[in-house]
Amino acid sequence: MKKIIFSCLILLGLGFQVKAQDSEIFPKGPKAANVHHIGDIYLSSLVQPDSTFEFGVGYVVSEAGSHLYWHEHPAGQILFILDGEGLYQERGQALQTVKKGDIIKCQPGIQHWHGATPNSRVIYMAASPAGKGATIWHEALKPGEYPSK
């Protein structure tokens, strides 16, 4: 886990800033198929887990109003919010607003969802250890769980 935090902090600490869509640090990546989310979400896989580094790192652009379904990570996940304003909620807990500079630790096995606010996109890096398995997807949000515009 220390390797994940150290690697991501190095990337974030290089003095770069996330700017307008045309000049982001990392490429926006392709639009993800709407299998486990609502709205437009773009994903770039920056680091694939391998025999040396047991975690993956993704760069995610979640457009306004888009969000993931309820899900969990068997080994946890860390979200580094780079730009915009987003939402994060763990099952049974209060909805949280997240913004540039926030770091969210998604504990192993805890169901949660995250995405953009209705009026702002959110850009984040997600670091996920892969050793205990892939993301486990659950149901879509129910009416009222995601704030309306």
Percentage of the chain modeled with pLDDT above 90? 68
pTM of the model: 0.82
Question: pLDDT by residue (tens digit) across 82-117?
Answer: 999 999 999 999 999 999 999 999 999 999 999 999
The pLDDT score that the predictor gives to residue 142 is: 92
Task: Tell me which CATH code domain 2-137 carries.
Answer: 2.60.120.10
Whether the CB-CB separation of 32 and 69 falls below 8 Å is answered with no
3-state secondary structure string across the chain: CHHHHHHHHHHHCCCCCCCCHHHCCCCCCCECCCCCEECCEEEEEEECCCCCCCEEEEEEEECCCCEECCEECCCCEEEEEEEEEEEEEECCCCCEEEECCCEEEECCCCCEEEEEECCECEEEEEEEECCCCCCEECCCCCCCCCCCC
Residue pair 137/36 in contact (Cβ under 8 Å)? The answer is: yes
pLDDT at residue 29 tops 50: yes
pLDDT for 114 equals: 98
Per-residue pLDDT, 133 = 83
In the chain, domain spans: 2-137
Give yes or no for residue 41 having a pLDDT over 90.
yes
Confidence of residue 21 (pLDDT cuts 50, 70, 90): very low
Looking up tokens 């209060």, which residue turns up?
A: 94
